[in-house]
């Protein structure tokens, strides 16, 4: 499970630009309009071989700056509670503002590492101006320019020094996390499963910082069920605050082998659910989608389920090899089928294919349809194998790996899924130089 780093600060100081630089993808829309970041932002980053999750809190505030003032306290408090380290970003052009002082006041009380990052420092004059940020009482600061990247290395060097080592005990039981947006029925799902006392083996107080783990035995298979819903609520945090459910989901997903994504059938597979899905996919976790409250959907016809399934598959393209089950926690309809499916996905994720069998299967497929020539050059794939890791990753060795395009990798992935059962599991494919 990797550490979590939260980036906090008032709007328009450059949090999203810095976030994009860390995850090396333009996932946030960056614009000079204050508060333009509307989407939830999280991604994976690594520095000096240490991987961590990054959360940009910029995307959680809607409305004007005065609404922001009320919200920023909530966000900073949440970041303080959930993250392992905090980057507090300020902007040298504006100097120290009242809002910066408010955030600093909250951060001074924290016993977690806080890094003060002074952004937009791209010349010596601005580096001198940065001195005034000492007045925030957070000790030394790091000057950087998130647009051109100067100075970010020093900050990241210091950051990864303090991040906790990722905990992964190999002998641990498999972990199934129940995730989804608030009120999708996560707690009820777990209660419906565990309600039959004879299945409970023990209750362990959660290792994932107050999420509850229940050891559970079913179908002769023992695993930990991680409940992200039964978490103590902070009075200050409204249940519907998206940032809050995202923060909680990040923790649970990081710590799981398989994620059971609960969708409220009456609300549909909306943007926030899709975000939680992609978060699990990006973390290479097994996924089972459970459409709950199916008993409440009115006017069901013979193909309603089929249409609903199609809609979900459109939303999760190109990773559509995911089991989708329609359940009702209330009537206990198909809830054990859900666990059985999760066990199957866990086994798929742990599957190891012997190299000789893998080559015997894949090389004839490749020969039948080789990678298209690129710039007049022909790519020859001579050998392939599964890379030893926690989830399925495959290496294909060839003469010109740089000429194999994305569509061909997708073709290989589809063939791989046809030949070997990897339902519910993200796959990574790498082209390597022979």
* Pair (284, 153) in one structural domain: no
* Pair (224, 128) in one structural domain: no
Q: Does the pLDDT value for residue 392 go beyond 90?
A: yes
Would 168 be classed as within a structural domain?
A: no
Would 70 be classed as within a structural domain?
A: yes
Which of the listed residues 306, 322, 350 is the one where a domain comes to its end?
350
* Pair (37, 139) in one structural domain: yes
What does pTM read for this prediction?
A: 0.65
| Domains contained in the chain, number | 3
User: Which residues carry a binding-site annotation for GTP?
Assistant: 9-16, 56-60, 119-122, 180-187, 227-231, 292-295
* Pair (28, 149) in one structural domain: yes
Mean pLDDT, rounded, for 301-307: 79
Range of the domain at 72: 3-162
DSSP 160-210: HHHSPPPP--TTSPPEEEEEESTTSSHHHHHHHHHTSGGGEEEEE--TTTS
Q: Of 80 and 369, which is predicted with more confidence?
A: 369
Say what the pLDDT of residue 205 is: 31
* Pair (315, 238) in one structural domain: yes
Distance CA 407, CA 371 (A): 9
Would 46 be classed as within a structural domain?
A: yes
- When mean pLDDT is compared across 165-169, 337-341, 353-357, 417-421, the lowest value belongs to 165-169
* Pair (157, 184) in one structural domain: no
Q: Give the distance from CA 338 to its chain's centroid.
A: 22
Which of the listed residues 303, 330, 350 is the one where a domain comes to its end?
350
- Backbone angles phi and psi of 270, in degrees to 5: -85, -175
Omega of the bond leading into 330 within 30 degrees of 0 (cis):
no
Would 167 be classed as within a structural domain?
A: no
Q: Give the distance from CA 268 to its chain's centroid.
A: 21
Would 169 be classed as within a structural domain?
A: no
Distance CA 431, CA 357 (A): 19
Task: Identify the CATH number of the domain in which residue 15 sits.
Answer: 3.40.50.300
> Hey, is 47 helix, strand or coil?
strand
* Pair (269, 205) in one structural domain: yes
Would 304 be classed as within a structural domain?
A: yes
* Pair (82, 147) in one structural domain: yes
Three state DSSP letters for 101-144? HHHHHHHHCCCCCEEEEEECCCCHHHHHHHHHHHHHCCCCEEEC
- When mean pLDDT is compared across 78-82, 149-153, 208-212, the lowest value belongs to 208-212
Mean confidence (pLDDT) of the chain: 80
Please, which pLDDT band fits residue 208 given cuts at 50, 70 and 90? very low
* Pair (211, 335) in one structural domain: yes
Say what the pLDDT of residue 15 is: 85
* Pair (152, 221) in one structural domain: no
Say what the pLDDT of residue 13 is: 87
Task: Identify the CATH number of the domain in which residue 366 sits.
Answer: 3.30.300.20
* Pair (214, 287) in one structural domain: yes
* Pair (91, 12) in one structural domain: yes
Which of the listed residues 296, 322, 350 is the one where a domain comes to its end?
350
Would 75 be classed as within a structural domain?
A: yes
User: Which residues carry a binding-site annotation?
Assistant: 9-16, 56-60, 119-122, 180-187, 227-231, 292-295
């Amino acid at each position: 499970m990797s550490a979590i780093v939260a980036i906090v600060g008032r709007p328009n100081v450059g949090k999203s630009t810095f976030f994009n630089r860390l995850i090396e993808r333009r996932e946030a829309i960056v614009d000079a309009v204050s508060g333009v970041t509307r989407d939830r932002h999280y991604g994976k980053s690594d520095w000096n071989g240490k991987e961590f999750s990054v959360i940009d809190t910029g995307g959680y505030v809607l409305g004007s700056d005065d609404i922001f003032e009320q919200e920023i306290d909530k966000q900073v408090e949440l970041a303080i509670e959930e993250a392992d380290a905090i980057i507090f970003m300020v902007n040298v052009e504006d100097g120290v503002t009242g809002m910066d002082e408010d955030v600093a006041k909250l951060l001074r009380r924290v016993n977690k590492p806080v890094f003060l990052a002074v952004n937009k420092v791209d010349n010596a004059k601005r580096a001198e101006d940065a001195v005034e940020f000492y007045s925030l009482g957070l000790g030394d600061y790091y000057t950087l320019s998130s647009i051109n990247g100067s100075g970010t290395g020093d900050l990241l060097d210091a950051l990864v020094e303090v991040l906790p080592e990722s905990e992964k005990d190999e002998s641990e039981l498999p972990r199934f996390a129940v995730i989804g947006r608030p009120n999708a029925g996560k707690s009820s799902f777990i209660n419906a499963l565990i309600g039959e006392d004879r299945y409970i083996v023990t209750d362990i107080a959660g290792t994932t910082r107050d999420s509850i783990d229940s050891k559970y035995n079913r179908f002769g298979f023992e695993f930990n069920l991680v409940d992200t819903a039964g978490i103590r609520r902070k009075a200050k945090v409204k249940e519907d605050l998206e940032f809050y459910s995202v923060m909680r989901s990040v923790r649970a997903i990081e710590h799981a082998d398989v994620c059971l994504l609960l969708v409220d059938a009456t609300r549909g597979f909306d943007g926030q659910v899709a975000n939680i899905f992609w978060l699990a996919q990006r973390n290479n976790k097994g996924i089972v989608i459970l459409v709950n409250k199916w008993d409440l959907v009115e006017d069901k016809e013979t193909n309603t389920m089929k249409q609903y399934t199609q809609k979900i598959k459109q939303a999760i393209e190109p990773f559509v090899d995911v089991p989708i089950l329609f359940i009702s926690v209330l009537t206990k309809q198909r809830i054990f089928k859900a666990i059985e499916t999760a066990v199957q996905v866990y086994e798929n994720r742990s599957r190891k294919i012997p190299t000789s069998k893998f080559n015997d299967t894949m090389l004839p497929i490749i020969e039948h349809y080789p990678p298209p020539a690129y710039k007049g050059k022909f790519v020859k794939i001579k050998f392939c194998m599964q890379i030893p890791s926690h989830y399925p990753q495959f290496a294909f060795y060839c003469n010109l790996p740089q000429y194999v395009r994305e569509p061909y990798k997708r073709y290989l992935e589809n063939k791989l899924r046809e030949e070997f059962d990897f339902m519910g599991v993200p796959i990574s494919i790498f082209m390597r130089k022979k």
